[in-house]
Amino acid sequence: MAQLTRWQPIGELTKLRDQMDRMFEDWPRYFGRRVDEEGLRGAWIPAVDIRETKDAFELTAELPGIDAKDVDVSVQENTLTIRGERRSEEVKENETVHRVEREYGAFERSFTLPRSANSEKIQAKYKDGVLSLSVPKREESKPKSLKVNVER
Q: Please indicate, yes or no, whether the overall pTM of this predicted structure exceeds 0.85.
A: no
Contact residues for 4 (Cβ-Cβ < 8 A; gap 6+)? none
Closest CA to 108 of 129, 69, 89, 81: 81
The answer to whether 73 touches 81, Cβ cutoff 8 Å, is yes
pLDDT band at 8 (very low <50, low <70, confident <90, very high): confident
User: 40 in a domain, yes or no?
Assistant: yes
Within-domain flag for 57: yes
- ∠ at Cα 73 (37, 58), nearest 5°? 80
State which residues form the domain around 108. Answer: 33-89+104-140
Mean pLDDT score of the chain: 84
SS3 of residue 27 by DSSP = helix
User: Total structural domains in the chain?
Assistant: 1
Q: Does residue 6 fall inside a structural domain?
A: no
Q: What is the pLDDT of residue 139?
A: 82
18 within domain boundaries: no
Gyration radius of the chain over CA positions? 24
Residue 77 maps to a domain: yes
pLDDT of residue 75: 94
Residue 145 within a domain: no
User: Is 47 among the domain residues?
Assistant: yes
Domain CATH code at residue 66: 2.60.40.790
